[in-house]
């Protein structure tokens, strides 16, 4: 309950999961993190990305064309 109130109830995804979700390579996800375009949390040597951050990133880049 306290976790959800702090906004941490979001599911954390691994780089591989984000890459599969976005249908890009792992390296592309790492580049987005390094560029600051995709917020990530560092856990040891690995990154975790909130699912809501991925959805926000994709939503901000949708093309209405």
Question: Span 9-60: which CATH code?
Answer: 3.90.105
Could you give the CA distance from residue 32 to residue 53 in angstroms, rounded to a whole number? 12
Could you give the CA distance from residue 39 to residue 5 in angstroms, rounded to a whole number? 20
Burial 32-63, CB ≥16 within 10 A → b, else e: bbeeeebebeeeeeebebbeebbeebeeeeee
- Give the pLDDT confidence score for residue 61 in this predicted structure: 84
pTM above 0.85, yes or no: no
- pLDDT, one tens digit per residue, over 12-51 is 999 999 999 999 999 999 999 999 999 999 999 999 999 9
CB 41 within 8 A of CB 49: yes
């Amino acid at each position: 309950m306290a976790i959800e109130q702090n906004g941490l109830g979001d599911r954390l995804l691994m780089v591989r999961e984000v890459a599969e979700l976005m249908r890009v390579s792992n390296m592309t996800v790492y580049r987005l993190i390094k560029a600051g375009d995709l917020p990530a949390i560092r856990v040891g040597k690995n990154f975790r990305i909130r699912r809501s951050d991925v959805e926000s990133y994709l939503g901000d880049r949708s093309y209405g064309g």
